[in-house]
Every structure is written in C-alpha cells, then in structure tokens.
Structure 1
C-alpha cells in the first residue's frame, strides 16, 4: 500500500498511507476512533475505492479499475466487529456458504471443510446451532472460521473484539494468537494493547488518516517516539 488517499466528500479519512505486510506477518493498527483504521481495511479489501495511491496484493495492482474485485476478495478473509452471521442458517451453513456459492465447492466437501474449521476454532459441537444460540465470543469465532475456511492469503479483522463483553474478549484473542503461530497473514485494528504488544510483528499508529509511527511492539508501544503516539497510549492506559 503506497500513498493511499481516501476521502468522503470534504472529509479526508486516509491521507497518503504507506503500509507493507509480509507473508505470515501480523500487523496491528492502533489509533483513536476516526483515525482511519477501518477505512484502511475496507480499501485493502476493495470495499472502498481509493482516490489516490496504489494497493498491491500478491504482485498485482488491485487498485487498477480493470481488476475483478470479487476475485480479489475471494483471496482475502474479512471479519467485522458485528459478526454479520445469517440468523436463518446453522453455524455450519454460515461457515460453508461462500465455499458453495462463491468457490463452487460441492456440499459434501464444503461440509467436511466447514466441520474441520469449526473444530479448529473449538466449535465443532455447535455446527447445527443457530447464531442466536451462541454467545458473542462464539459468534465471532464462527465469523473467523467462515473467513478462514477458504484458505485466504490475507486476513483482515476490523475491531473483532469491540462488541464483546470483557469476559468474552480473551477467547477471540486466544484464537488470533493461535492463527499467528500457524503463520496466517493478518492485518487487524484493535484497542487491545496487550494483544498488540504480545502478538504483533508490526504496530502501526494512525492519527487523522496519517501513519505517525510504525515499528515493532517494543518500539511503538514500549518506547514511542512521537508525541501523538505517547498521548494516545496514555489515554488507553488510563
């Protein structure tokens, strides 16, 4: 991602953002609400069209208007804070829907892969349940399983714990830690500084749509050099 700019009318949300994500890396975006973190993820997934700059994914300029956005998104997994599960489908039905409808996988193979993925996130026994029968943490793990089941090259996670009760946050963060240890490439935004410190390879601090500081967790969280970064971390810790 190089020089990415995105505005909604007169409101400039991203202003010349540069970001590099290596294969197998976990990049955590931090910053106050409205700093541009969610918009950055939506631009990376082509849910928003950038006004300027280039986003390269697997060697391809995906901001080229000739690019098939659906094909690009099929190689990424995107998880929202609000789960976005279909209430009329079972847990397994939610996990396998894109496999069957988008990727053309047979129902039998989709179910097999879906059950294996639910087992991976600790919810195999809930495969026949409806989303409303699950806790928030379980619903978010189903949403992550749905994004993972198609073996995406990149996972984008948008504040996936912010809608959860505090006692449920840990189970989702534990799952993300496991994914990191398995080499899943991830970009996520979060206010969970402990997770960012312990799991991230790179931490990127955004303020008013600009990257003010980037580096290892020890650098950005442990010894921030920019005054805006220090002020943000002080508010979070308070």
Structure 2
C-alpha cells in the first residue's frame, strides 16, 4: 500500500505549467529518486507534497488522507513530513541544538526538556553529538547539511523529502551526506529524493522517476531507468550528466 499517492497533480505559475498531470506512488519504506533537468518540476513537486505550494488540480494522499483538501490542517500534515533543501537554512545566531529544537518547542509546543533530549539523540544519530553547542558557521558544509537533516527528523516524520541536498557541497563532502541517506533507507525511512547523483540513485533507489516538462516520463527500478532507459529524453539527459546512457 502506498504511503504517498499523487494523481493528476497540476501546478502552474501563470502560463508556466510546472507540473502537468503528475502521477506517482511511494510505498512505505521506499526510496524514490527524482531526476531530470533544471526546471523539470522536481523542487515544485516536493514543495507541493509538503504543502508549501497549493496544487491547481489533482490529489495528493499521505497515509490515505487527502492532504490537498483545503480543509486540511497544513501544520499537522507538515509535522509528519521532514523536508531538507539544498541550502541548509540554519539560523546563524543559534547553536546547532537550538536550531533543531526551535520548531518542536515553538510550533509543536513540545516541552523544552523533551525537545532537547530528542535533538541530542538525533545529533548523535547523524554523527554531530559533539557539535550541539557550535554555531552553524563553525561546521563544514557537510556537517551543516547533516544538522539540517537532523532538524527534519527530530519529529520522527513518516516521510522525508530531500531536494538536491548535496548540490551546494564541495565534492569531498558529498559522500558523508549520501552515506547518511543510505543509512536512513536501510532503517526503513520513506524518502523522495531529488538528486543528480546517479551512483546514489542506482545503489539506493527502489524507483527512479525521470521528470520532463512536469511529467513522469519514465519510472521504474534503477536498472531500467538509469541503465537501460527507453525514452529518448531520458537517454539524452543521462548522456549529458554522465556521458553514458547505460547501454
């Protein structure tokens, strides 16, 4: 049974149609990787799932609930979804620990001691237990991104959305973030990941979805979409970013 279901999702900004009748199913515990050129709709798709954007048409269901219903409590929905962007969005004047506890305390009204205990456990989980009192600018880019992932996970979300989380990192720091995502997948976290890291997609994804002009042009296991793409547009995209279509 799908944890996340999207049917006929459409999103436009004026005359610019970004998502055009988008369908996708994500099972619990599954990692779906979104690939495609800039402007193909990957980021907008994730923002629609997290209700940061309002869809113009179609339905998004999370655990059987229609979260596109205008009567839905958006804050309650977001509390069950973690989202991480390519920019870390950490508050520079707060410690790492305070960054992670801010939303649980201020938004979700979690007792301070409970929030701190959860945050410290999560920092230990991502290998940053010794950085709790540090300010973000005292961390490397990879450490800041891991802190952002810890912040997204502190409320034990049922779904994680990750939007190009390695694109702002120096190449030598990419591996540590991808290793963390591999660990989360192995522990059963349901994830939808937008990335250009084809090795990660090939190794970790259950499904790869190639977006073109706001539609899922090709969807399937990595060995199909990455190694043996059937669509010409998919072949062209993979050729541009890796020099091979897998054929």
TM-score tier after normalising by the smaller chain length: over 0.9
What does 1:97-112 correspond to in 2, within 5 Å? 97-112=102-117
- Report the equivalent of 1:47: 52
Shift of 1:107: 1.2
Cα distance in 2 for residues equivalent to 1:212 and 1:75: 29
Correspondence list, 1:53-68, <5 A = 53-68=58-73
Separation in structure 1 between the aligned mates of residue 199 and residue 186 of structure 2, nearest angstrom: 17
Equivalent residue pairs, number: 238
CA distance in 2, matches of 1:11, 1:99: 36
User: 2: CA distance between counterparts of 1:216 and 1:195?
Assistant: 13
The equivalent of 2:3 in structure 1 is: none
Who is 1:83 aligned against?
88
How does the TM-score come out when normalised to structure 1? 0.99
Where does structure 1 lack aligned partners over 5 or more consecutive residues?
A: none
Indicate the residue corresponding to 1:142 in structure 2.
147
Residue 11 (structure 1) aligned with residue 9 (structure 2):
no
Q: What is the distance in 2 between the residues matched to 1:221 and 1:234?
A: 10
2:29 aligned with 1:24, yes or no?
A: yes
What secondary structure does 2:218 align onto?
Answer: strand
Q: Deviations over 1:140-168 (max 9, x none)?
A: 00000000010001000011000111111
Identify unmatched segments of 5+ residues in structure 2: 1-5
**Partner of residue 220, structure 1:** 225
TM-score where L is the length of structure 2? 0.95
**Aligned-residue offset at 1:103:** 2.1
Cα drift, residue 112 of structure 1: 1.0
2:207 equivalent to 1:198: no
Q: SS where residue 70 of structure 2 aligns? A: coil
What secondary structure is seen at the aligned counterpart in 2 of 1:46?
Answer: coil
**From 109, 116, 120, the counterpart of 2:121:** 116
1:179 and 2:177 matched: no
Q: Distance in 2 between matches of 1:116 and 1:62?
A: 30
Runs of 4+ in 1 over 4 A off after TM superposition: none
Tell me, in whole angstroms, the C-alpha distance in 2 between the residues paired with 1:176 and 1:66: 33
- Aligned to 1:18, the other structure's residue is in SS state strand
Which string of whole-angstrom CA distances, capped at 9 and with x for unpartnered residues, describes residues 70-90 of structure 1? 111111001010010011110
